[in-house]
């Protein structure tokens, strides 16, 4: 070996240089080499015989790193310097570094230049080597002078690949060319290795997950020949998957997933025939959910009424919810849960978004409420207090915003449309027919509460004049106690049904009156 060697990487190629005590000799030797490279000196025929440089045959596997290719020199006289170029025309051998062979130990300084992709087509890599003596010349003899370390392209196929020698030159210690020199190319062969199956390389085969928590694990595999492969599995529970390309196991264990599960993962080649595969056993342990649910949206109180309030929330996992309303004793300051029906109020399903209604509250009262969410494993989270106040009792009956108007009449029915100042239920009461009191009166109520609506009296006689009233009642039960007790509630109506051919007679008229 020649002292300390360093490698400097430039754009497009790798340059290797050697720093040693031979620098002075190289400077002195340079002028002689320039002459050698520009013109050949004349020597007597046969003055130097049996001089040769040979590339020894080598072999390796696709994907191998650090495969050694040796260059051997046979010289019949002392050598002071040499140079040559070693070329791989195929590009499947990628030169990495150059080192001195056994014959040059401590004798020569080595200056190699590695030029990758010489022809611009990802092939034809060159190694150019120049060496000069440090002190004593290289005596006549034979043996390895240079070793080139190659990486073999993982996708290399075929072969053998030719390694050619060119620009071969020997010089004696004075710088005079030694001639002739025979150059012999070598060949690199791919080893005839039996294809091996891909293997899973994970050493830790115990996987641990938790119910309702995201889980991920990488299954790692390799193939020594660089063949493509895919992953498959047996035994993963519901909610899990294995990515066939990346080998990533991911998922979220569901509630009551079996605590211990054997998993078989197989890796199979896809580019060979027949495809080779291997498997490895894993153990998946699923621990019970020990994580409390969280509110992804804090509980809010909505639809506050005199005697009830609705609570809405959203959680990060399916839960059941319970809402409790507490009232404060103004004398003692003590808060207590009201002992009333539906307080606390609970949901019956495990959902991420839900609502619950607390009933039986007292009007015009301050409350502090809490919402408790509980997951399937019993882990619970209680919200902070929610302040709200029920409204003052509604004691005002509704009134008509627009008085009832007849919108349809037939021989046997009258239909009215109405509009109120709040959601209300309307009742049409007919008390007279053709000026005669009806006993009992005819009553036609609506169903449900609305600010607008229609109401129809049916089963009437044709061409008859009916008189009555329409009254309103809100959801709090507020209604006029007696007829005419409020402005616009109730509203009097008087209308005639449509006549038929057998009911038309002298003096019959159609009238619509509102009072």
Where do we find the tokens 């506050």? 304
**pLDDT of 331 strictly over 60:** no
**pLDDT of 512 strictly over 80:** no
Q: Does 164 or 92 have the greater pLDDT score? A: 164
Q: Does 220 or 154 have the greater pLDDT score? A: 220
Q: Is the dihedral of CA 42, 44, 46, 50 positive or negative?
A: negative
Q: How far is Cα 366 from Cα 386, in angstroms, rounded to an integer?
A: 11
Q: Is it true that the peptide bond before 205 is cis, omega within 30 degrees of 0?
A: no
Where do we find the tokens 């309103």? 472
**Distant-in-sequence, close-in-space partners of 404: CB < 8 Å, separation ≥ 6:** 416, 417, 418, 455, 470, 491, 493, 514
Length of the chain in terms of residues written: 515
Residues 445-469 have pLDDT tens digits of 998 899 999 999 999 999 999 999 9
Give, as one character, the DSSP assignment of residue 255.
T
**pLDDT of 198 strictly over 70:** yes
In 11-80, where do the E strands start and end? 13-19, 52-55, 58-60, 67-75
The predicted pLDDT at position 169 comes to 94
Asked if 135 contacts 173 with a C-beta cutoff of 8 angstroms, the reply is no
Alpha-carbon Rg for the chain in angstroms: 51
Report percent pLDDT > 70 for the chain. Answer: 82
Mean pLDDT across the stretch 23-47? 41
Tell me the Ramachandran region of residue 88: left when phi exceeds 0, alpha when psi lies from -120 to 50, beta otherwise.
beta
Q: How far is Cα 203 from Cα 426, in angstroms, rounded to an integer?
A: 78
Q: What is the pTM of this model?
A: 0.42
**pLDDT of 48 strictly over 70:** no
Q: Could you give phi then psi for residue 326, rounded to 5 degrees?
A: -115, 140
CATH of domain 199-287: 2.60.40.10
Residues 93-120 have pLDDT tens digits of 889 999 999 898 888 888 888 888 887 7
Has domain 400-514 been given CATH number 2.60.40.10? Answer: yes
Q: How far is Cα 218 from Cα 237, in angstroms, rounded to an integer?
A: 17
Mean pLDDT across the stretch 316-341? 65
Q: How far is Cα 470 from Cα 443, in angstroms, rounded to an integer?
A: 10
Residues 394-453 have pLDDT tens digits of 888 899 988 999 999 999 999 999 999 999 999 999 999 999 999 999 999 998 899 999
Q: How far is Cα 70 from Cα 81, in angstroms, rounded to an integer?
A: 18
CATH of domain 4-190: 2.60.40.680
Residue-range domain boundaries for the chain: 4-190, 199-287, 295-389, 400-514
What's the longest Cα–Cα distance across the chain?
157
- CATH topology assigned to domain 295-389: Immunoglobulin-like (2.60.40)
Tokens read off for 180: 């002739």
Are 4-190 and 199-287 in the same CATH fold? yes
Asked if 283 contacts 209 with a C-beta cutoff of 8 angstroms, the reply is no
């Amino acid at each position: 070996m020649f002292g300390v060697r360093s490698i400097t990487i430039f754009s497009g190629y790798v340059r290797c240089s050697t720093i040693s005590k031979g620098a002075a000799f190289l400077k002195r030797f340079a002028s002689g080499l320039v002459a050698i490279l520009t013109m050949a000196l004349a020597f007597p025929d046969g003055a130097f015989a049996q001089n040769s440089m040979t590339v020894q045959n080598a072999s390796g596997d696709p994907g191998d790193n650090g495969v050694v290719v040796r260059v051997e020199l046979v010289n019949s006289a002392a050598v002071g310097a040499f140079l040559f170029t070693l070329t791989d025309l195929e590009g499947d051998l990628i030169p990495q570094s150059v080192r001195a062979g056994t014959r040059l130990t401590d004798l020569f300084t080595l200056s190699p230049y590695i030029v990758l992709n010489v022809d611009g087509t990802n092939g034809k890599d060159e190694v150019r080597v120049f060496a000069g003596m440090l002190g004593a010349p290289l005596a006549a003899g034979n043996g390895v002078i240079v070793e080139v370390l190659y990486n073999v392209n993982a996708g290399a196929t075929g072969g053998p690949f030719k390694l050619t020698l060119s620009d071969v030159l020997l010089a004696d210690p004075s710088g005079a060319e030694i001639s002739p020199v025979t150059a012999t190319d070598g060949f690199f062969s791919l080893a005839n290795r039996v294809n091996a199956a891909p293997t899973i390389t994970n050493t830790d085969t115990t996987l641990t997950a938790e119910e309702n928590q995201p889980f991920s694990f990488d299954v790692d595999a390799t193939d020594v020949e660089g063949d493509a492969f895919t992953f498959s599995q047996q035994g993963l529970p519901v909610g899990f998957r294995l990515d066939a390309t990346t080998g990533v196991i991911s998922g979220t264990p569901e509630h009551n997933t079996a605590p211990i599960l054997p998993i078989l993962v197989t890796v199979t080649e896809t580019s060979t025939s027949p495809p080779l595969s291997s498997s490895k056993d894993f153990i998946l342990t699923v621990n019970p959910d020990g994580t409390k649910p969280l509110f992804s949206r804090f509980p809010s109180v909505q639809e506050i009424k005199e005697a009830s309030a609705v609570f809405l929330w959203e959680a990060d996992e399916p839960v059941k919810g319970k809402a409790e309303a507490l009232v404060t004793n103004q004398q003692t300051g003590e808060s207590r849960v009201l002992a009333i029906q539906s307080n606390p109020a609970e949901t019956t399903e495990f959902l991420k978004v839900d609502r619950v209604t607390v009933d039986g509250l007292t009007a015009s009262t301050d409350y502090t409420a809490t919402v408790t969410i509980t997951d399937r494993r019993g882990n619970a989270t209680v919200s902070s207090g929610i302040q709200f106040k029920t409204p003052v009792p509604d004691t005002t009956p509704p009134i008509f915003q627009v008085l009832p108007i007849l919108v349809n009449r037939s021989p046997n029915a009258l239909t009215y449309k109405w509009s109120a100042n709040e959601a209300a239920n309307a009742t049409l009461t007919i008390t007279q027919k053709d000026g005669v009191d009806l006993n009992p009166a005819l009553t036609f109520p609506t169903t449900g509460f609305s600010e607008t609506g229609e109401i129809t009296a049916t089963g009437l006689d044709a061409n008859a004049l009916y008189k009555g009233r329409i009254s309103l009642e809100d959801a709090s039960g507020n209604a006029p106690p007696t007829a005419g007790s409020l402005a616009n509630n109730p509203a009097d109506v008087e209308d005639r049904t449509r006549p038929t051919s057998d009911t038309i007679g002298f003096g019959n008229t159609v009238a619509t009156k509102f009072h």
